[in-house]
Amino acid sequence: MQNIALITGVTGQDGSYLSEFLLDKGYEVHGIIRRSSVDFRERIAHLEGVPNFHLHYADMSDSMSLVKLVGKVQPTEIYNLAAQSHVQVSFDAPEFTADVDAVGVLRILEAVRTNHLENTCRIYQASTSELYGKVEEVPQNENTPFHPYSPYAVAKLYGFWIIKEYREAYNMF
């Protein structure tokens, strides 16, 4: 069985590196790009046209586009790298940040469940040191309490907890 990866945030630095890595390992790689008036794909331009590399339009704020795409691709792995990741922008656009960085994670989880892939699809949720925000100890470890200090950090913390909840409630990986 071939591994099929679906990558959100594929046009970012990490998404392009991950695509290269997985293609070299023999994966079929599908990347999500947003419809936009500016088409920024410089980091993945060298991958377009490569066998086993496919791009699809979808949006983290549109659950139906994610449900349909997950159903079409049938991924064995999803790497969620998409985020509004600028801390200052999260203060300027907190609702947008929450919609993409928090509820977007929930939309991916529900797209997997809706397509009955919870037993065959593994999900990786990218996180951030911003979860610790107002650092209470140095260095941080697995027992360091979270103290998010921006709308971005709070949204990413929701993503962290909803992944944990779905793992426990639905036995998802």
Active site residue ranges: 128, 130, 152
* Alpha-carbon gap, residue 60 to 102, rounded angstroms: 10
Backbone angles phi, psi at 85, to 5 degrees: -105, 10
Q: 117 with 75: CB under 8 angstroms?
A: yes
CB 134 within 8 A of CB 144: no
| DSSP assignment letter at 138 | S
Find, among 88, 92, 111, 108, the residue nearest to 100 by Cα.
108
What spatial distance separates the first Cα and last Cα of the chain, rounded to whole Å? 18
Residue type, 103: V
CA 110 to chain centre: 13
